[in-house]
Amino acid sequence: MRIAFDMSNVIKRGLLVGVDAEFGRKVPDPENPEKLVQVNGWQYGLDNSLSAMIAALNNLGLAPRDVIMVFDGKNSSALRKRKVPPSRIDYKARGKRPDEFYVEYNKALEELRKVWLELGAAACEQPGVEADDVFAFLAENTCEDLFIWSHDGDLCVLQGTNARGAQIHVGNNDQSNVNPFGAFDTKLITVYKALVGDTSDKIPGAFRFGDAAFLQVLGMYGEDGLDDIAQMIERRALEELQENVAECKVLKRVIEDAQNVYDSYTLAKLYPDAVDTLTAPLNWTYGLLREGREGDDTRLRKWYSRKVLVGAHNFKQCVNEARNKRVGVVALDLETSSAPESDEWLEARKRKLTNEEEMKDLGVDVFAQYLVSCGITVGDNGQYTYYFTSGHSPADGIQQIPLAQLGRAIKHICDGAIVAVHNANFEIPVLGKHLRAAWAAEGWGEEGYLPNVHCTKILAGYVDENKKSGLKPSSKLYLNYDQETFEETTTITGRVGELPPGGKLRGGYSEPADPSDPDSPRVDYETRQYKMHELTATHVFSYGADDPHVTMALYHHWKFRVQLEGAWGAYCNVEQAAMYPVADSFVRGVPISLEKMRELERDDDAVHEKAWQVLRTFLMANGWEGTVPPVYTQPELTAAEVKQALSIVHGHELKTQVRKLDKLATLIEAEGFPQFAEMLRQYTPEVFTKYVQAHFKGEPEINFNSPIQMQRLMYEVMNLPVRVANKPTEAARARGEVQGSPKTDELAIQYALRDCAEDQKPVLEAIRAIKMVETRRKMYYRPYANIQHWEDRKVHASINQSATNTRRYTASSPNVTQLPKHPKATGEPARFREVYVPHKPGAVVVSMDFEAQELRMIADYSRDAAMLACFDPENPKDMHALTALGIMRSERLYAEFPYEEFMKALEQSEDPLHGKVKVLRALGKKTNFTTEFGAQAKKLAQTLLISEEEAQKYIDAKLAAFPEVEQWKRRIIEEAQRTGISTTKLGAVRHLREALNSDDRYTRSKADRQAVNFRIQSSSAEMTKRAIGRMWQERLFTKFDAQFYFPVHDETVSSVHLNDLVPFVMAKHACMVQPYADMTVPITSSIGIGWNFGELIEIGNTPTIELLESTKARLLGQLAEAA
C-alpha cells in the first residue's frame, strides 16, 4: 500500500489547530482589519503536521518510502478557471487569510517536504492542476492499494476498487472510507456538490437546494436517478427534468438555476485526464533516505539509514538482524575482483583490435570476477544496509567471511524475498558461478541461481527508455544524488612508499615539503588505482554500502511509476524469467571452433588480396595519395608537410596543434625521433626531399572506413554520379539543407555499377569485396581472435535484455546478434555462424526462428483482411505475391489478372509468365519489407534502383493490397500525438513526449514512425522474451542434456545432445508457439538442426516424432560421411 498526503490540507490543519505560544502572533484580519487573528509559526505547523503524518503511517503499518506527497501545482486553479471563468465565480473569496499566514505556510510546507524526501518519500505536482486531480489520477491508475489522506470530503468520491483491482481508501486519522456529506454512495458526491453547492469554498449550487432536497430526490429516484441527473449536467440538458417537476417540485430549482449547477458540477468534478498529458507532465521528485544524525527528531529516528560493516566478528548477529528486519524486498550489490590473468587476457584481446569502437565492448572480464563483498539493504523503509566483507585486504584488522558462509547468509536473508539488483547481467552470473553448486545442492534458487530477481537497470528502461540506465546516472537524474564513482574509490594519491601495497601506477608528481618555501626539500607523490581485493573493507565501506541503498530507493520509486503507466505486468511477465537463460548461458559458456574461424579468415584474406591488386593498380594509375613521392620546394615547411613526412619516414602519426617548425622539432625529438628532428632544424628543400623519398614506399594510402576518402574515390576520381545521400546532420538541417553528404555504402556501389563504364566495374567489385572482408575483420576476426576465455576456452557473451528503445536483445563481447543468417548483397555466403558448435560431443545446435514475426504482428494489430488471409493456417495467401499482383495490375494488359493465375505462373517454370511474375514477387517482397516501418518512395526508389515515380507505384500497390494497415498506422500516430506514448500488446510504454513536443520537424516526424515501430518491434521482442523465459520455466535446460546459447533477433539458439533431441525440440517448439497477449494470428516457428550453427537442416515449422527421428538419422549420416 501507498499513502498519498494532501500536503496543503496537512499543513493548513497543522498551522490552524490550537495556539502557538512560542512563535505565534496576532495580526489584523484581512476581511476585518480591526479584528486580530492568530497566526502560528511555521515550526509549530511543521511539528503538528509531522505528528499527523507519523500517526497515519503507524496506523497503517507503513513507512516513509510509501509516502507520496501531493502538492497543488503552480497556478493550480487554471484548469477550473478555464472551465468556469472568474466572471461567474469569485475565486478570491475562497478562504482569505492574512499574508503572514502564507509566509508561515510556505515555510512549513518547504521544511515538511524536505523532511520526508530525506526519509525516502516521493512528491508530485503539476502546474495548472490542483492536487485533487492528481489524487484522481493516482487512484485511477495505481496497481497498489492507496490511502488518500485528506480532510477534503470531495475526494471520498474516489473510494472503492479501481479498474486495476487496487483498493482506494480516503480519510484521515479520525475517520476513513465514510461519506462526510451523508448516508449515500460516495460516487454521488460530485452531483451532490453540483446541486447543494460548497459553502466552504463559496461555490453555490441550485438556489435553496440543500441537503433535505438532495435526500428527497435520492429517496424518490434512487442512485440511478441521480446518475441520470449527472449525465444531464454533463450534457448541459437539465431542462429534461421538466417532466419530473410535477412529482418532485424541488427539481424546479435545479432547472431554474441550471447555470450555477453546471458551474458547481464543473468545479467539484475531478479531472484525472488532465494529469500527465502530452504537454503537461506530472512532475515527480524522489527522495533518498539519508543516514541518521545526532539531533534527529526522535519520532523519525527508526526510519533513517544505518549502515554496518560486517566481518567474521559480527557476522552471525548481522545475518539474523538482516533477516528479521527484512520486509518484502532486499536490495543486493556485489563488489568483485579478478586475477592478473584476467588483465593479461583483456590486454591480448585489445592488441588485436584497431580502434576505440572495436574496443568499447571489452569492458570488464565479468566471467573471471570473484566475490570480495556483498552489500544488502533491508527494512520497512530500506533503512538497514549490511556490507559483508569476504575478500578485502585484511590490513584494517577485519577478519574476512569465508565464501561458503557468505553464500549461506545471502540465502538466509533473501529466501522468499524479491531481490532488487541494478544489473542482473552481473549479479546473477557472478553469484551463480561461485555459489550455484552449493545453492542447487540445497534445492534453493532458480536452478541454483539467485531467485526472484528484479533488475532496476531493466526497470529503468520501462521508466524512461530515453535516459541512461546506469546506477550512477540514474541516482543523479532521479534522486539528485551524486554517488562516489568506482575510480574515486579505487584511486589513491599519497607519498611514495606510504600507499597500500599493489595497485597500478597512474601518475605522480613532487612538491616542496613546505608549500610556503619553494626551496624546501621536495616530496614525491604517486597515484595508484587498486583492485577491490587490494583495498580494506573500511576503505570501501561507504562506496560499497551505497549501491544497494540507492538500488532499493530506485526500485521502490520506479515500481510505482511503472505501475501508474500500466506497464508493471509487462515488466514482470516479460523480463524476469528471461534473465535466467542468458545468465546460465554466460556462466556455462558457448564453445566455438577456432579452426573453422581461421579457415574462413584465410578464405577472406585471399579474396581481399585479389581485390586489392585490382584496386591498387587503379589507384597507382590515378596518382592516389601515397603513390606519388612528395617534393618540397618552399623555403619553409608547413605543419601538415611535417606530419606527412614523419608518417612516411617512421610510420608515426603526430597529433599536435603546434605549427612552428622549431617547436615541432622539439616535440618530435621528445617522441623518440632525434634524426628527423635534426633534419627539420637543418631543413633545405632538396636535402629534405631526398631524405623523405628514400623512405617512400609508393603504396596507395586509403582508408575504407573514411567517408571522405571513399567519396573522393567514387565521385571525383571515378567521376560517378551521386545517386544516394545521407540524411543531413542536425547542423545541416538548421541551415535549411535537406540532403547530406554522398553515400559510399553497398547501395551506392550498386548504383555505381549500373552507371559506370565497363572498365570501372572490376574496380567497384574490388571495393565491394574489400569492404566486405574489412567488415568481417572488424565484426569477427579481430574481436574473436582471443575471445575464448582464459579459464575455460569458451565464449561468454553478455546479453542485454532492454538496452535499446524497443527493448530488443542486444549483445556484447562478442555481439552475437551480428551473426547474419542470409547472404548479403555482395552475394558472398554468410558463413561465420559455422564457428559456433554444440555444447559437447554428440550434441547438435538447434535454432528456432519466428516466421514473419513482425508481419504477423502488423496483421494482428491492423486486422487487415488481406494480410490476415496471408497467415490463415488452412489456406494462406502469399503476402509478397499480393503486392506483386498489385504492381502487375498497374499495367493495362494485366488490370484484371487473378491471384490464382499469378500463383500458378509463379510455381510452374514452364509458364510463359513465370519469369515476369518471379521478378515481380521479388519486387513485392522488397517493397513490403522496405516500407514496413514507414519508408517512403524516395527510400524505396534508392533501394530498388528505380525512379521515385515507379517506387510510388509499388507503394500504391501495397496500400491497395492491404488498405487497413496504413489506416492502423495513422491511428497509432494520432494516438501518440495525443497521449505522448505508444504501447505494446502487454502494456509496455514507449515515451515520445519530448520528441513530439520538439521544435524540430524531423524529430517530430521520427517520433511518429517510432510510435508505430515500437508497437511492432517491441511486441515482437516481448514474444521472443516470453518464449525464452518459458523455456526456463519449463526447465528445458536441466530436464534435458541441453544448453541455451543466445537470441539473434527473432531466433533462439540452443544445443542439445542427440539422445534428447526429439523431446527437447518438441518442448522448445511448444514454448516458441505459445499464444502471445491477445494475438489471434497463429505464431509459427521454423526449426533448423545441425552440427554447427551455420549448417542446419531445415525441417519446417511442424515437428513430429517421425520427422525428428529421420532428421537425427540424417545427422548421423553426415557424421559418418565426414569420418
Residue 99, domain CATH: 3.40.50.1010
Domain boundary among 661, 680, 697: 697
Q: Which CATH number characterizes residue 365's domain?
A: 3.30.420.10
858: nearest Cα among 964, 953, 742: 964
Write down the H helix ranges in 932-1000.
937-944, 948-961, 963-979, 993-996
Helices 914-931 and 948-961: crossing angle in degrees, nearest 10, is: 90
| Euclidean distance between CA atoms 481 and 797, whole angstroms | 32
In a domain, 798, yes or no: no
In a shared domain, residues 838 and 940: no
Number of domains in the chain: 5
In a shared domain, residues 843 and 876: no
* pLDDT for the residue 496: 94
In a shared domain, residues 189 and 145: yes
- Contacts by 688-694 with C-beta closer than 8 Å and gap 24+? 688/632, 688/637, 688/645, 689/630, 689/631, 689/632, 691/649, 692/629, 692/630, 692/632, 692/645, 692/648, 692/649, 693/629, 693/630
* Separation in Å, CA 65 to CA 7, 380, 546, 647: 16, 8, 17, 62
**With contact defined as beta carbons under 8 Å apart, do 548 and 325 qualify?**
no
Could you report the per-residue pLDDT of 812-867, keeping only the tens digit for each?
999 999 998 776 555 667 899 999 999 999 999 999 999 999 999 999 999 999 99
In a shared domain, residues 876 and 955: yes
Domain boundary among 922, 942, 961: 961
In a shared domain, residues 1034 and 1063: yes
* Separation in Å, CA 564 to CA 142, 143, 288, 390, 670: 5, 7, 21, 40, 63
- DSSP assignment string, 261-274: HHHHHHHHS--GGG
Residue in this structure with the C-alpha cell 576476426, named with its chain if needed: 781
In a shared domain, residues 364 and 231: no
In a domain, 616, yes or no: no
**With contact defined as beta carbons under 8 Å apart, do 665 and 645 qualify?**
no
Residues contacting residue 552 through CB under 8 Å, at least 6 positions apart:
329, 331, 377, 382, 420
Three-class DSSP category at 424: helix
Residue 663 phi/psi, 5-degree rounding, is -70, -35
In a shared domain, residues 844 and 907: no
696's grid cell = 617512400
Residue type, 948: E
In a domain, 578, yes or no: no
* pLDDT for the residue 351: 83
| Euclidean distance between CA atoms 547 and 552, whole angstroms | 9
In a domain, 588, yes or no: no
Could you report the per-residue pLDDT of 299-330, keeping only the tens digit for each?
999 999 999 999 999 999 999 999 999 999 99
Domain boundary among 911, 927, 961: 961
| Euclidean distance between CA atoms 975 and 979, whole angstroms | 6
Segments forming the whole domain that contains residue 669: 628-697
Residue type, 260: N
In a domain, 604, yes or no: no
In a shared domain, residues 1071 and 1118: yes
Residues contacting residue 790 through CB under 8 Å, at least 6 positions apart:
341, 342, 344, 345, 368
In a shared domain, residues 319 and 367: yes
Determine if the pTM surpasses 0.85: yes
* pLDDT for the residue 803: 86
* Secondary-structure percent of the chain, ordered helix, strand, coil, rounded to 5: 50, 15, 35
In a shared domain, residues 61 and 157: yes
Query: How high is the mean pLDDT in each 10-residue block of the chain (1123 residues)?
Result: 97 95 93 91 97 96 98 92 81 75 96 98 97 98 97 94 96 87 92 87 83 93 94 94 92 92 93 95 97 94 97 97 96 96 91 70 88 98 98 96 97 97 96 96 95 97 95 97 96 95 94 88 94 97 98 98 97 97 97 96 96 95 89 92 91 89 92 93 93 90 90 95 87 80 91 93 95 92 93 95 91 91 66 96 97 95 95 92 92 91 93 94 90 81 83 89 94 96 97 94 92 96 97 97 96 98 98 97 97 96 96 94 83
Residue 989 backbone zone (phi > 0: left; psi -120 to 50: alpha; other: beta): beta
* pLDDT for the residue 825: 52
**Cα angle value 501/502/505 (rounded, 5°):** 115
Q: Which CATH number characterizes residue 847's domain?
A: 3.30.70.370
In a domain, 102, yes or no: yes
DSSP designation for 279: S
In a domain, 643, yes or no: yes
In a shared domain, residues 849 and 869: no
**With contact defined as beta carbons under 8 Å apart, do 120 and 226 qualify?**
no
In a domain, 139, yes or no: yes
185: nearest Cα among 173, 177, 197: 177
In a shared domain, residues 869 and 849: no
